[in-house]
Amino acid sequence: MSKTFSWIDVQAHNTRKSCWLVIDKDVYDCTKFLEEHPGGEEVILENAGFDATDAFEEIGHSDDARDLLKNMKIGSLVDSAKPPRKGTNVAETTKVNGGVRPASGSGPNWIALAAIPVIAVAAYFFLNQ
């Protein structure tokens, strides 16, 4: 039986020392392949910890590349949820009533706080014309 991983598991492996990718809901450990990748390690690292299916398919990898990938498979993704977008961290979410919401302290609230002084300055200049 194949090992299963969650998005939290996968996102924890997004560095040069431990680099996992998800392609078609399968999880691959590409760490040892980074230096050998013909397109450079940066291409893999920018997708590390995320769903790299689109990036992998867009390149049009050869059958040889797909065979190499089979040797790197370590399991399957168990999460049925949509993959996280780059720049988000699944570990920073908390479960609430069966759903997922951002953990406290995250979200766009800082935008509102930053807008307050801008609006105040604009109002000052508008009213003093």
Reported as a pLDDT band with limits 50, 70 and 90, residue 57 is confident
Segments of 1-129 assigned E as strands: 4-5, 20-23, 26-29, 73-77, 93-96, 99-102
pLDDT in tens, 68-94: 889 999 999 987 666 666 655 555 443
Mean pLDDT of the chain, nearest integer: 78
- For residue 83, what pLDDT is reported? 63
- The C-alpha atoms of residue 45 and residue 16 are separated, in whole angstroms, by 7
pTM here is: 0.63
For the chain, what are the domain ranges? 4-91
- For residue 118, what pLDDT is reported? 78
- The C-alpha atoms of residue 56 and residue 48 are separated, in whole angstroms, by 12
| CATH class label, 4-91 | alpha beta
124: pLDDT strictly greater than 60: yes
58 pairs with which residues across the strands?
none
100: pLDDT strictly greater than 50: no
